[in-house]
Amino acid sequence: MSSQSVQLIIQDRYVVMDNGILQVTLSKPDGIVTGIRYSGIDNLLEVLNEEVNRGYWDLVWSEAGSVGTTGTFDVIKGTKFKVRVENEEQVEISFTRKWYPSQKGELVPLNIDKRFIMLRNSSGFYSYAIYEHLKEWPPFNLPQTRITFKLRKEKFHYMAIADNRQRYMPLPDDRSPERSQALAYPEAVLLVDPIEPEFKGEVDDKYEYSCENQNLHVHGWVCMDPPVGFWQITPSDEFRSGGPLKQNLSSHVGPTCLAMFLSAHYSGEDLVMKLKPDEPWKKVFGPVFIYLNSKSDATDPSLLWDDAKKQMMTEVQSWPYKFPASKDYPPSDERGNVKGRIQILDRYVSKDRVPGNGAYVGLAPPGDAGSWQRDCKGYQFWTRADEKGYYSIQNIREGDYNLYAWCPGFIGDYRYDATISITAGCDIDVDDIVYEPPRDGPTLWEIGIPDRSAAEFYVPDPNPMFRQYGLWERYQELYPDEDLIYCIGTSDYTKDWFFAQVPRKNDDYTYQGTTWQIKFQLKHFSESDTLKLRIALATANIAELQIRINDSKADPPLFTTGVIGNDNTIARHGIHGLYWLYNIDIPGTLLVEGANTLFLTQTMSTSPLAPFHGLMYDYIRLEGPSSSSSSTT
């Protein structure tokens, strides 16, 4: 620790923040972090890179009406520098870029204000930004925005994103064409001649290190000579898009460390922010904290990781921060709170209401039930209910919200009917809310666990060197001649239900769709009965699911989803993407007393990315009619 006051040194082309613990240099007026001096290392950032390619805010944007998740990549450079706060305890500096109509088509129509903060006795610095789009400006799409730090490759070799996800990493040189072999998509390479032989035969892919927002609060890199840690801490998810289950990149070979705010990863175009004509928008991203730590006698990098986790908890408990100077960042006394209790009523599980134990409860912009997972314009505030169903959401920004919920163990989404208006200092007690999940009749059979993930199904043991890469190809190895057949009453979904329904590769290297079968028995059955099939999907990627009963060639099928999804979860080693729920009536005339077969056909298989077309199931349930004695054997 240092008792030195915070110093601000303003030069012609640079500005330096220095508190005696670390020194941060930024270009002026660009606001690019060009240097971080700490613990005897003159610069933690990659000195071999050009200054603009070391520490920066960036975004991807495209013109309104564009499709897809790509666009123009823009490293955000300020055009005006201003000191917002300067005293012995704190420095806050601002780098702004304003948009003018003459820049239409050349620059994203946003006013952007990047802020950097250094506090006394703080082993790190903070950054946040205010993005603003005026009503009269042209609409546009924003697929991504983030902060990127690129560290010195000769020093930072150990990466950590969780207690069970940390290791020494390959060098960026190992990904060069001379040392690696290209695989099925550009992000994944096979290391054939790495500088360090221990990595030979490994697959490197940045998506192997993705993480859900709810678990992505600290990650980073460790240098062991001298022992120094560089950590990106995100103390709140309120400014991240897509809710608590949204998956984002973290750190990866570079060594690169990211703070992701908005991205289409594991969701596709549904999470591209699309501003409409005459739509004003403003959002504050951050602050996030760049934390540096050191331990002179450290021989194990996990010691620095453990310290970073403690600092993360300190930052979380300090949220919302008191020190940011922007009026667009409200402190605690300008926010409100909501509390209540959620109960579940599923009369075929219990005649009484049961506590929503572990339910996700959140406030997000007004919309339909479940719309929060596709929201990318507003703020979201989430918590988990306790074992009795009680929840409390604190420090909510002012505004109008819907209250949403879903509960592991039950299908579907809940939305509270009334809009909740948050004002400064409010304490709103919603009291008891009751979620009645979709249900028409008793469960005849079910497959899986309704938790929005395919993790409970059979996931083959990966090649230790490849890690998750290529798991989709294991389907054909397990089912070389015919597709999956699952028998109710004898099959075990943890062993007999493959985690992803993917296309089958033909001998001529083309692909074809696959048809899975569920075989079940019905008794005490009447043709006048109507059964209900519930299919919850954990992800879909350019997939079409067709449902048929007892006739695999029926045309048209009983039901089709149409072509859905652009999550790309299968290729990117995820176990879920966006959640889909389908409720399908099965007329009794299609069923028979005794043996029946449900056919699930995923048809899509023709594009260059055919191996990654497909879907993952979350949960499947067949319900009998409420007034019938139909049952299965």
Does 326 map to a domain?
no
Q: 521 and 487 in one domain?
A: yes
Which residues neighbour 555 within 8 Å (Cβ) at sequence distance 6 or greater? none
| Contact (Cβ atoms closer than 8 angstroms) between residue 185 and residue 216 | no
Together in a domain, 448 and 375: no
Please answer whether residues 274 and 262 qualify as being in contact, where contact means their C-beta atoms are separated by less than 8 angstroms.
no
| Claim to verify: residue 122 and residue 249 sit in the same structural domain | yes
pLDDT, position 592 = 95
Check whether residue 431 and residue 447 sit in a common domain.
no
Out of 137-146, 500-509, 565-574, the most confident range is: 137-146
Same domain, 465 and 347: no
Residue 21 belongs to domain spanning: 7-318
Question: What percent of the chain has a predicted confidence (pLDDT) above 70?
Answer: 98
Count of all residues that appear for the chain in the document: 633
Average pLDDT over residues 508-517: 92
605 within a domain of the structure (yes/no): yes
Q: Assess whether pLDDT exceeds 50 at residue 633.
A: no
Average pLDDT over residues 457-484: 87
Answer yes or no: is 327 within a domain.
Answer: no
Pair (179, 288) in one structural domain: yes
Among 64-68, 81-85, 629-633, name the most confident range. Answer: 81-85
Give 483 or 609, the one with higher predicted confidence: 483
* 104 domain-assigned: yes
Given a contact cutoff of 8 angstroms between Cβ atoms, the answer to whether 160 and 301 are in contact is: yes
CATH number assigned to the domain comprising residue 528: 2.60.120.260
Token readout for 115 is 């802020």
Q: Are residues 414 and 534 in the same domain?
A: no
Averaged over 55-78, what is the pLDDT?
96
Cα distance between residue 500 and residue 478, in whole Å: 13
Question: What's the rounded Cα separation, in Å, for the pair 247 and 263?
Answer: 9
Positions of E strands within 225-328: 227-233, 247-248, 251-252, 256-262, 273-274, 281-294
* CA separation, residue 238 to residues 76, 320, 543 (Å): 22, 10, 31
- 93 in a structural domain: yes
State the pLDDT confidence band at 627, using cuts at 50, 70 and 90.
low
Region 576-600 average pLDDT: 97
- Supply the pLDDT for residue 631: 56
CATH assignment at residue 300: 2.70.98.10
The stretch 202-214 carries a mean pLDDT of 95
Tell me the average pLDDT across 565-590: 96
pLDDT in tens, 18-27: 999 999 999 9
Task: Tell me, yes or no, whether 234 lies in a domain.
Answer: yes
CA distance 563 to 576: 18
> Does residue 451 sit in the same domain as residue 430?
no
Average pLDDT, the chain: 95
Q: Within this chain, do residues 196 and 296 fall inside the same structural domain, yes or no?
A: yes
The C-alpha atoms of residue 455 and residue 461 are separated, in whole angstroms, by: 13
Domain boundary among 391, 409, 435: 435
Q: Is residue 633 part of a domain?
A: no
The pLDDT score that the predictor gives to residue 147 is 98
Domains identified in the chain, total number = 3
632 within domain boundaries = no
Q: Are strands 420-422 and 399-406 parallel, antiparallel or unpaired?
A: antiparallel
pLDDT digits (tens, 9 = 90+) for 87-125: 999 999 999 999 999 999 999 999 999 999 999 999 999
Domain end residue (candidates: 268, 295, 318): 318
Residues 74, 209, single domain; the answer is yes
Please give the model's pTM, rounded to 2 decimal places. Answer: 0.95
Is the same domain home to 299 and 351? Answer: no
Last residue of a domain, one of 284, 318, 352: 318
